[in-house]
C-alpha cells in the first residue's frame, strides 16, 4: 500500500491507497513543531481507525509546501514505515510532465499534483482552483502540460486581515450569509468576505477564459471548495481528492520506470 502525504500551510492530509483505491484519508493541522515521533503516533491512530497497520505501508509519496515539516515527515517514513519517501520533484521526470512557465522550479508540489490528476481524470483545457491557505488558479493544457496560474489570498486570510487591521471589527466565522446585504457588523463582514470572494473567483475565471480564447472546464479542490460549489456557475465540479490522486499517479509512473520499486 502507498501512503501519500499532502503537506499544506494549514493542514497535513494523510491518505492510504491500494492501487488506485483509497483505503483511508485523514487531516491534521500543520504544525512545524511536531516531531517524527508525534506524527508517527497520529498516523498509527489514523491507520487503526481505518483497520490498517503501519506494516502494510510499502511506499510513501510526499507533496510539501512547508519546508520545516519535510524532515520530520521523512523520518516518520524511514523510522516507522521502513520506506524511503518520494517527493513530487523526484517524480516529475518519470511522469514526463511539462511545465511551460519561465521558472518551473517555483511551481508548488500540490499544484503539479493537481494538474496531473485533473488531466488524467477530465482531459481537455482545464482550470484547477484550489481553495486552501491561498487560492490558486492553475491552467492545464489539453496535452496535460502546466501552463501558468494565479495565486490569490485565501478567504480565511481575508477574515484574519480584517480582524487584525481594523480595531473595532470582530473575528467572524466563515459562513455563507443568507442575504447579500448585512444588517449588523458580523453579517456585513460575512457578506463582504464570502460574496466578495465569489466575485473574485468568477472574475478571475472569466478573465482567464477571455485571455486564452478557449473553453476551459473548471475543477475545484481544497478544503474550502465545497463551500463554493453551489454558489456560482463558474465552477463545473468539485473533486476533493484531486491532489492525492495526482500523487498516486506520479508514484505509479516512477515505480514503473524503476521496475516496480520507487526509491
Give 49-85 pLDDT, tens digit per residue.
Answer: 999 999 999 999 999 999 999 999 999 999 999 999 9
Q: Fold match between 2-83 and 98-247?
A: yes
Give the other-Cβ count within 10 Å of 157's Cβ.
15
Check if the beta carbon of residue 119 is closer than 8 Å to that of residue 144.
yes
Which one of the listed residues 31, 37, 96, 110 is annotated catalytic?
110
Is 110 catalytic? The answer is yes
pLDDT at 161: 85
pLDDT at 60: 96
pLDDT at 97: 83
Gap between the Cα atoms of 127 and 244, Å rounded: 18
Task: Supply the pTM of this predicted model.
Answer: 0.89
How many residues are present in the chain?
263
Percent helix, strand, coil in the chain, to 5, is: 45, 25, 35
Plot region of 259 (φ>0 → left; ψ -120 to 50 → alpha; else → beta): left
Check if the beta carbon of residue 169 is closer than 8 Å to that of residue 163.
yes
pLDDT band at 261 (very low <50, low <70, confident <90, very high): very low
Closest to 12 in 3D by CA, of 244, 170, 176: 244
Residues annotated in a binding site for K(+)? 130
User: How does the average pLDDT of the chain come out, rounded?
Assistant: 91
Give 1-29 pLDDT, tens digit per residue.
Answer: 999 999 999 999 999 999 989 999 999 99
Gap between the Cα atoms of 256 and 245, Å rounded: 16
Grid cell in block for residue 84: 524511503
What are the residue boundaries of the structural domains of the chain, listed by start? Answer: 2-83, 98-247
For residues 105, 106, 108 and 111, what is the CA-based torsion angle, rounded to 10 degrees?
A: -90
Give 159-182 pLDDT, tens digit per residue.
Answer: 888 878 887 788 888 888 888 998
What integer is the mean pLDDT of 92-108? 85
What integer is the mean pLDDT of 193-214? 92
What integer is the mean pLDDT of 104-110? 89
Residues annotated in a binding site for substrate? 108-111, 185
2-83 has which CATH code? 3.30.420.40
98-247 has which CATH code? 3.30.420.40
At CA 74, angle to CA 48 and CA 112, rounded to 5? 95
Amino acid at each position: 500500500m502507498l501512503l501519500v502525504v499532502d503537506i499544506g500551510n494549514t493542514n497535513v492530509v494523510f491518505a492510504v491507497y491500494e492501487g488506485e483505491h483509497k483505503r483511508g484519508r485523514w487531516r491534521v493541522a500543520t504544525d512545524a513543531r511536531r516531531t517524527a515521533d508525534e506524527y508517527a503516533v497520529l498516523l498509527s491512530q489514523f491507520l487503526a481507525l481505518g483497520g490498517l497497520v503501519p506494516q502494510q505501508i510499502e511506499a510513501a509519496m510526499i507533496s510539501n509546501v512547508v519546508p520545516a515539516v519535510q524532515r520530520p515527515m521523512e523520518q516518520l517514513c524511514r523510522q516507522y514505515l521502513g520506506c524511503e519517501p518520494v517527493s513530487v520533484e523526484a517524480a516529475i521526470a518519470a511522469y514526463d510532465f511539462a511545465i511551460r512557465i519561465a521558472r518551473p522550479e517555483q511551481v508548488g508540489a500540490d499544484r503539479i499534483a493537481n494538474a496531473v490528476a485533473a488531466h488524467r481524470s477530465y482531459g481537455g483545457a482545464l482550470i484547477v482552483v484550489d481553495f486552501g491557505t491561498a487560492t490558486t488558479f492553475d491552467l492545464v493544457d489539453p496535452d496535460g502540460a502546466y501552463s501558468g496560474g494565479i495565486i490569490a489570498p485565501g478567504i480565511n486570510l481575508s477574515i484574519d486581515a480584517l480582524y487584525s487591521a481594523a480595531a473595532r471589527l470582530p473575528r467572524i466565522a466563515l459562513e455563507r450569509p443568507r442575504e447579500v446585504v448585512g444588517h449588523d457588523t458580523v453579517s456585513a463582514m460575512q457578506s463582504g468576505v464570502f460574496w466578495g470572494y465569489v466575485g473574485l473567483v468568477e472574475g478571475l475565471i472569466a478573465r482567464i477564459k477571455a485571455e486564452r480564447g478557449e473553453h476551459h472546464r473548471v475543477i475545484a479542490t481544497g478544503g474550502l471548495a465545497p463551500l463554493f460549489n453551489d454558489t456560482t456557475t463558474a465552477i463545473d465540479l468539485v473533486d476533493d481528492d484531486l491532489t492525492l490522486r495526482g500523487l498516486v499517479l506520479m508514484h505509479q509512473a516512477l515505480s514503473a520506470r524503476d521496475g516496480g520499486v520507487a526509491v
